[in-house]
Amino acid sequence: MQKEYLDLEEYGIVGNLETCALIGRNGSVDWMCLPWFESPSVFGALLDPGRGGRFLVTPEEKFHSFHGYISHTNILETTFRTIQGQMVIQDFMPVVGQSKQAVLYRKLHCTWGSIRMYGLFAPAPAYGSETPEYEKTEHGIRASHGDLALQLVTSLDFQIGEEGAASRFVLQEGQSAWLVLAHGDMDFDTSNAANEAAMERTRRWWNNWLEQCGGKRACAFEDDVWGHVVTRSELALKLLTNPRTGAVAAAATTSLPEALGGERNWDYRFSWVRDSSFLLQALFHLGHHQEAMNYIRWIDEKIAKEDSARTLQVLYSLHGEDGAEERTLSELRGYRDAKPVRIGNGASEQFQLDIFGELTNMIYQTTRYGRNLSGAQWRYTRDIVNMAAEVWQEKDQGIWEMRGEPRHNVYSKVMCWVALDRGVRMAESNGFDAPLEAWRATRDAIHNAVLERGFNKQRNSFVDVFDGEELDAANLLIPVLGFLPGDDPRVLGTIDAALEHLSAGDGLLFRYTIDDGLRGKEGAFAVCSFWMVKALVLAGRNDEAEQFFLHTLDYISPLGLLSEEVNPASSAMLGNFPQAFSHIGLINCALYLGLMRGKDSGQPRPMGME
């Protein structure tokens, strides 16, 4: 009997760089949006098993299953074992440029014995709100609704019924079958030979993509213990990176809950500005300079379109559309009945001071990697720095995007300091026109204010807001950003306070201690664990850093994927999946640990280690 909901760690992801499919260990495609990540879902059983739609291929008998990726690729293999036989399903999508349309290939191969299988092709367009019309074709099944057309080509006999198109079949040892699903009417060869060739091209594409950066890749990542998880993070991050625009999706999903049964359910199919400097650090040190430059170009275009630095958004659509209006889909149950299901994200309308520091830091980092700023680029950079100087004393929603009243968030003030500091550095080293005296004075004023009002002597730690008492894991980035040295007593106190009061178990941290007013207790925040490791490295506590990192790796999925959070009680993954920020954190964490071991990065030293 199929489980109604799978654990997130039971899912793998395949994609074409513009969209993806989440495929469970039971052989079910439970999440797929077409044609883009942020498009409405056509398979959405992840959020509602009853009406969301799925594309299932699974044994009819009781089975055990496991899955993995073909080495150095995003080709997923799921193996099913029954008493009678064994079946392997290989799932993949050719990347953009290899195919004119989004295509999901599913190859079934019986490796021994015989195995009885059940297939169900049941798309549910528009987040499950529409029912498609089915028709038999010469080569399979066509499902359509309005402008949407899905073509399933297969030699297996699918019959149209009330639930969709279904098939029961048996494969004997050595026999194979293909199911090829295309978005739009198919106009390409789907013979077995052509399908095999498509899989080989896809395998070579992923292998070549990794090999192209081999000579530029920092040797700091070469470690037998965690090298493979860095590579998997790298491959997952690439799946979330759009080759046409350069934007990187924060995650592939929407509304996967940070607290089961609670309301902490958000749409992460957008690109967040705050990921920028950490993302570029990861890409440059991995040797993926083209992806880094594509992302920089995308950011440049976004900044250039804004009327002023004040109107910069926290997040942007992956394809250039304005706005991310948030609304709920009340008819969907939600993952494990966590409601509401949201599309769009209201954080796009928030005022968050930290983005000025993130953008300026990103621009500064690119100059360290050899980029020369044009006059226009310096002008908008100067505008961002000036804006940080103007508004740093205002309240904001902060990095955690609190939905309550704005506050004087300490981390936001630190990031305004970063904007001024990086602006001063760029102007001094390049001779750019800038109000340097005013910038230096404001930088010093922010620094003094954070030290006087952001550090709580009783708690011996930086805290979440000015004159506050609650802890915030974002303050672990203070040494990483160069605000204070890693061995400063106030940094050491913040590390120890976080280890004592934010700990959610070995290798896990909660992100803050404050009651944020939302229902449900959220899990440990994955990226905070990686921030802790970097803080420990910069504090010279190397053994602790390595042990903490190794404990954190215990919570990665069997496929090497990370969600946003972890349930400390069950070790189950929570939040949207896979999460770019978590994988970026892991990559940069491995970089710091490699440098700690004396391995050359081959690139400028990362933040905090300059």
The percent of residues in the chain predicted with pLDDT above 70, rounded, is 99
According to the model, what pLDDT value does residue 321 have?
66
What's the predicted TM-score (pTM) here? 0.96
Gap between the Cα atoms of 45 and 120, Å rounded: 13
pLDDT in tens, 501-548: 999 999 999 999 998 877 778 999 999 999 999 999 999 999 999 999
* Distance (Å) of CA 275 to CA 27, 205, 535, 569, 608: 33, 26, 18, 28, 17
d(CA 502, CA 483): 22
The Cα 600–Cα 606 span in angstroms is: 12
Range(s) of the chain covered by CATH 1.50.10.10 = 217-243+276-314+351-596
Write the class of the CATH domain 217-243+276-314+351-596: mainly alpha
Q: Average the pLDDT over 572-600 and give the result.
A: 94
pLDDT above 60 for 1? no
Neighbours of 540 (CB within 10 A): 12
- Please write the tens of the pLDDT for every residue from 342-386: 999 988 888 899 999 999 999 999 999 889 999 999 999 999 999
What tens digit of pLDDT does each residue of 146-176 get? 999 999 999 999 999 999 999 999 999 999 9
User: Does residue 552 contact residue 592 with C-beta atoms inside 8 Å?
Assistant: no
CA 553 – CA 269 distance, rounded (Å): 25
Q: Which residue matches tokens 């925040």? A: 525
pLDDT at position 426? 97
Average pLDDT along the chain? 94
Q: In angstroms, what is the C-alpha Rg of the chain?
A: 25
Percent of the chain whose predicted confidence (pLDDT) is above 90: 81
Q: Which of 75, 67, 63 is nearest to 107 (CA)?
A: 75
Is 1.10.8.60 the CATH number for 8-209?
no
CA distances 325 to 281, 347, 348, 406, Å, are 31, 9, 8, 20
439-471, pLDDT tens digit by residue? 999 999 999 999 999 999 999 999 999 999 999
Token representation of residue 56: 């299932």
- Cα separation, 170 vs 105, whole angstroms: 19
Local structure of 260: helix, strand or coil: coil
Residues of the chain with CATH 2.70.98.10: 8-209
pLDDT at residue 314 greater than cutoff 70:
yes
- Please give the Cα distance from 604 to 610 (Å, whole number): 8
Could you give the CA distance from residue 292 to residue 363 in angstroms, rounded to a whole number?
A: 12
pLDDT at 323 over 90: no
Q: Is the CB of residue 11 less than 8 Å from the CB of residue 23?
A: yes
Task: Summarize the confidence of residues 573-596 as an average pLDDT.
Answer: 95
Cα–Cα distance, 539 to 548 (Å, whole number):
14
Summarised one tens digit per residue, pLDDT across range 89-99 is: 999 999 998 88
Kindly provide the residue ranges of all beta strands, DSSP E only, lying in 481-575, ordered along the sequence.
524-525, 565-566, 573-574
Structure tokens at 147: 């402008």
